A and B are shown apart, each in its own frame.
Chain A
Amino acid sequence: LKEKHKILHQLLQNSTS
């Protein structure tokens, strides 16, 4: 699932601003 949702995964990894 992570592989198919790279952008979402990246957004989740980014620290909250």
Chain B
Amino acid sequence: NGDSPPTVSMAELDHLVQIISKSHLETCQYLREELQQMSWQNFLQDEVERYQSKPREVMWQLCAVKITEAIQYVVEFAKRIDGFMDLCQNDQIVLLKAGSLEVVFVRMCRVFDSQNNTVYFDGKFAGPDVFKALGCDDLITSVFDFAKSMCSLHLTEDELALFSAFVLLSADRSWLQEKLQVEKLQQKIQLALQHVLQKNQREDGVLNKLRCKVSALRSLCSRHTEKLSAFRAIYPDIVRTHFPPLYKELFG
């Protein structure tokens, strides 16, 4: 009935960890070494002001493009997760439509500098003030706070990979046709995540902290949708003609 966790051998869990970690590293957009080479360069004040003085719609379009690029990597990640492509096409679409932006937010902690409260964006590290022209200060603050709290967990790449897969394979999304199959896959991923956390000798509370992040992610994504609706109400033509088609498909 889907309530009892599936029986999985240690070897199977190790294999799942290996596959998902590999998928994550192959599709994570930026390798840690590449980020280190960027030497955590921050935008200068005049560059910040240039972003701030962009028209609202231009900044929205720029962010939509960056989000869409990141989402394309998440789609590739999903495709390489064991069992994802075995789900029916409807459910693959449902899971990505609901979860791809959530995974982008999870992945953000890899490109986030907690000490300076900056994130890698458009070639350098940007603080929340860079995004002022969007007119969504509250959402931006929440996104930065989320990245900071994810960073404070100091997840390894393996742990981050499995948590991303866990988020993506959420069995409680609306409109799933084969909910039970998604549920089984998510339970296996959760067991693999627990397995890795134990192996890495993480304290017991980490899994609970990660579970709390799931609801924070949902809140961030629904607020993004609200902000987009408000923006679209004022600039319908900009969204229609200038926003990336994939972004419109996912959030329209």
Chain A residues touching B, range: 10 to 19
Chain B residues touching A, range: 10 to 19
Assembly CA distance A8 to B97 (angstroms): 9
Partner of A2, one of B79, B93, B96: B93
Secondary structure at the B interface, as helix, strand, loop or mixed, is: helix
Interface set of B (CB-CB < 8 Å, partner A)? 72, 75-76, 79-80, 85, 89-90, 92-94, 96-97, 175, 245-246, 249-250
CB-based contact B79/A12 at 8 Å: yes
Hey, which chain A residues are within 8 Å of B249, CB to CB?
Answer: 4-8
Known contacts A4-B249, A6-B249; A11 and B75 CB within 8 A of each other: yes
Interface set of A (CB-CB < 8 Å, partner B)? 1-2, 4-9, 11-12, 16-17
Looking at the assembled complex, report how far the CB atom of B125 sits from the nearest CB atom of chain A, in whole angstroms: 29
**B100 nearest in chain A by CB position:** A8
Known contacts A1-B175, A16-B76; A7 and B89 CB within 8 A of each other: no
Partner of B94, one of A1, A7, A16: A1
